[in-house]
Structure 1
Amino acid sequence: MTGLSKLGIKTALNALYWSRAHEIAAPLTGGLGAILMFHHVRSARHGRFHPNRHLDVTPDFLGAVIRHLQQRDIDIVDLDEAMRRLAGSTPGRRFVVLTFDDGYRNNLTEAYPVLKAAAVPFTVYVATGLIDRTAIPWWDIVGEIVAHNPRICGRVGDSELDLPAGSVREKEAALEAVIRQLTTCDEDEQRRAVARMAAIHGVNARTLANSLMLDWEEVRAIARCPLATIGAHTVGHYALSRIDAGRARLEMEESRIRLFEAAGVTARHFAYPYGSASAAGPREYALAEELGFETGVTTQRGVLQGGEAPFALPRISVNGGFQAIRYIDLLLSGVPFALERGVKRLRGITSVAVVASASTR
């Protein structure tokens, strides 16, 4: 997300919040509850360039979110309780589920003390290849490359990159350009390209993964906590829709097998890597059900209205660039998502009207 587009989103969200329209509409749009999604929980980073800032929140902000939910009498529940409430015949108290993706060490060292002190349940979705170090958190590696180099060179597929990265603005533009290339190429070429770039720019991918990701003893430590649920998140953190069905099935199934072998965890819940409509769809939802998972969470935006398919559950990303309680309130109201759906419908109607008009000419 560029600085300009983020500013535009913030301006729109702030205008919506201060209008108080979300408070009026929330009974209609807020649904029964929501699943919040976090990644890194760590102290604020120094310096002006913060790669992948949207994945970071501070422990203080996590604590503030929990306290605010409790003050609003919103229950913080685990996924099992959330599904029971969604299946219920009568509406109950509103609820929120706290989820953490990928398996970052700071989920244990920074988030867990906050969660334990508040005595609230949470779910950590573990990509087992990141724990085994057979897969790499390529987005963090690219961020490290851009952060520590004044120029970024490399090859992604058939494209040669040569980007200035001296100033903060150049670094932000370079990071966006590299990630754009990496998310449009083949999944395997993506990993090869990142490995090549890391070697060129002096970043040791294994060392970085060792510093960022949990190891198996730490996964077991989380699993022993009665507040914790460990979910599966594939082995290699691939966009499942971009690999063939057999390989996608193995990614899902083997992550669950590895969690049981290495941590004694029976993973009943699943998170699709990336989780957008383009990264996970009906094929992946069907695979999750066939493999015996009980839920599958996406990153498609929205609150839980009841009646959602259990293998296509929406979530709300808690974005590190928007660390203010007003954004939490606004998103939990469901109003931004209702407006987003309305705009999409309007665009669809407009497109149909244009086509119909053109067909009569």
Structure 2
Amino acid sequence: MNELTTIGLKTALNALYWSNAHRLVGPMTEGVGAILMFHHVRRPGAGRFRPNPHLDVTPDFLAAVIRRLRQRDIDIVDLDEAARRLAGGSSGRRFVVLTFDDGYRNNLTEAFPILKAAGAPFTVYVASGLVDRTALPWWDVVGAVVAANERITARFGSRDLDVPARSRREKHAALEAIIQALGDCCEDEQRRIVARIAASHGIDAAALGDELIMDWREVRQLAADPLATIGAHTVGHYALARLDAARARREMSESRARLQEMAGVEARHFAFPYGSPHTADEREFALARELGFATAVTTRRGVLDGAGDRLHALPRISVNGGYQAIRYIDLFLSGVPYALERSVKRLRSFTPVAATVSASIL
């Protein structure tokens, strides 16, 4: 997302917040609760360029979110309790689930002390291949390449990419161009290309993975705390919808088996990598259900509506590092932005019909 789009979105969200629409309409749109999604929890690094800033929040902001939930008398519950309430055992109180994707070490070193002090249950979805070091967080690797270089050259199939990366603006554009080009490649080719880009631009991808991702001792340390739930997140963090059904099933089942073997935990809950409609859809939801996961979460935006929610296709609210202000949390928890988004989509779907009707009347 470029800076102009972000500014426009923030302007719209701020206008919505200060209109008090979330207070007036919220009781009709807020649902029974929400699942919040985090990734990195860490302090801002040095330098003007921050790759993938949407994946970062500060420890102070995480603490502020927890305080705000408590101030608003919203229960912070684990996924088992959320599933119980969604299945019809609701206490009538609104609730939030705190989730963290991928298995970053800062979830243990930075987030866990805050969650522990607050007595807040949470879930960390672990991609077992990242912990085994058989897979890499390629998005972090690409971010490190762009941060460390003033020009990026790479080959994507038959296409060559050669982009400047000197200024902050150029670096953001270069990162966006690389990620877009990778999206046109199959999952395995993506990883091979990223490995080549890292090697040719002076980035030790394996060392970066070691630095960023927990090892199995640390996963076990986290899993030992009663506040923690460890969920599965595939082996290699692949977009499951882009794999054949047999391989997608293996990614899901083998990640759970590896968590049992190495951390001694029964992973009852699952998160789809990326989690968008293009990366996880009905086939993947059915696989999660067939494999016996109690819940599965997506990144489809929204609050939890209660009995209508499907436990293997749950929406989440991304706590985006570009929106670290409590007013955005209040706004998102109201469900109003998502209700508006759905209304706009419905309106767009009706547009051809409306145009036809208008033409026939005229």
TM over 0.5: yes
Distance between the aligned counterparts of 2:139 and 2:174, measured in 1?
13
The residue aligned with 1:329 is 330
Tell me the amino acid that sits aligned with residue 146 of structure 1.
V
The residue aligned with 1:103 is 103
Cα drift, residue 357 of structure 1: 7.1
Q: How does 1:342-361 map to 2 (within 5 A)?
A: 342-354=343-355
Distance between the aligned counterparts of 1:232 and 1:357, measured in 2?
51
The residue aligned with 1:33 is 33
Distance between the aligned counterparts of 1:271 and 1:354, measured in 2?
41
The residue aligned with 2:309 is 308
Do the aligned partners of residues 356 and 247 (structure 1) sit closer, same or farther apart at CA in structure 2, a change above 3 Å counting? farther
Distance between the aligned counterparts of 1:89 and 1:276, measured in 2?
28
Q: Is the 8 A contact 2:303 2:317 kept in 1?
A: yes
CA offsets, 1:293-328, max 9 Å, x none?
110000000000112110000000000000000000
- Matched residue of 1:161: which SS? strand
- Matched residue of 2:100: which SS? strand
Distance between the aligned counterparts of 1:159 and 1:355, measured in 2?
42
1:279 aligns with 2:279: yes
Tell me the amino acid that sits aligned with residue 150 of structure 1.
E
The residue aligned with 1:159 is 159
1:18 aligns with 2:36: no
The residue aligned with 1:317 is 318
- Matched residue of 1:248: which SS? helix
Q: How does 1:167-316 map to 2 (within 5 A)?
A: 167-306=167-306, 307-316=308-317
Distance between the aligned counterparts of 1:281 and 1:354, measured in 2?
31
Distance between the aligned counterparts of 2:258 and 2:199, measured in 1?
29
Q: Is the 8 A contact 1:127 1:255 kept in 2?
A: yes
Distance between the aligned counterparts of 1:222 and 1:351, measured in 2?
53
- Matched residue of 2:124: which SS? strand
CA offsets, 1:2-32, max 9 Å, x none?
1010000000000000010110001000000
TM-score normalized by the length of structure 2: 0.97
- Matched residue of 2:316: which SS? strand
Q: Is the 8 A contact 1:36 1:98 kept in 2?
A: yes
Q: Which runs of 5+ in 1 are unaligned?
A: none
Distance between the aligned counterparts of 2:47 and 2:222, measured in 1?
31
Q: Which runs of 5+ in 2 are unaligned?
A: none
Cα drift, residue 88 of structure 1: 2.3
- Matched residue of 1:98: which SS? strand
Cα drift, residue 360 of structure 1: 11
Tell me the amino acid that sits aligned with residue 313 of structure 1.
L
Distance between the aligned counterparts of 1:360 and 1:135, measured in 2?
60
Tell me the amino acid that sits aligned with residue 270 of structure 2.
F
TM-score normalized by the length of structure 1: 0.98
Cα drift, residue 351 of structure 1: 2.8
Do the aligned partners of residues 128 and 358 (structure 1) sit closer, same or farther apart at CA in structure 2, a change above 3 Å counting? farther
Distance between the aligned counterparts of 2:360 and 2:184, measured in 1?
34
- Matched residue of 1:174: which SS? helix
Distance between the aligned counterparts of 1:352 and 1:89, measured in 2?
42
Q: Is the 8 A contact 2:103 2:125 kept in 1?
A: yes
- Matched residue of 1:46: which SS? coil
Q: Is the 8 A contact 1:32 1:91 kept in 2?
A: no
The residue aligned with 1:92 is 92
Q: Is the 8 A contact 2:40 2:55 kept in 1?
A: yes
Distance between the aligned counterparts of 2:352 and 2:247, measured in 1?
37
Q: Is the 8 A contact 1:123 1:230 kept in 2?
A: yes
Distance between the aligned counterparts of 2:28 and 2:91, measured in 1?
13
Distance between the aligned counterparts of 2:240 and 2:359, measured in 1?
38
Distance between the aligned counterparts of 1:193 and 1:55, measured in 2?
22
Tell me the amino acid that sits aligned with residue 130 of structure 1.
L
Cα drift, residue 84 of structure 1: 1.2
Q: Is the 8 A contact 1:156 1:193 kept in 2?
A: yes
- Matched residue of 1:341: which SS? helix
Cα drift, residue 353 of structure 1: 3.4
Tell me the amino acid that sits aligned with residue 95 of structure 2.
F
Tell me the amino acid that sits aligned with residue 245 of structure 1.
A
Do the aligned partners of residues 119 and 166 (structure 1) sit closer, same or farther apart at CA in structure 2, a change above 3 Å counting? same
The residue aligned with 1:6 is 6
The residue aligned with 1:120 is 120
Q: Is the 8 A contact 2:84 2:90 kept in 1?
A: no
- Matched residue of 1:297: which SS? strand
Q: Is the 8 A contact 1:275 1:300 kept in 2?
A: yes
1:55 aligns with 2:55: yes
Cα drift, residue 83 of structure 1: 1.2
Distance between the aligned counterparts of 1:265 and 1:358, measured in 2?
62
- Matched residue of 1:88: which SS? helix
- Matched residue of 1:235: which SS? coil
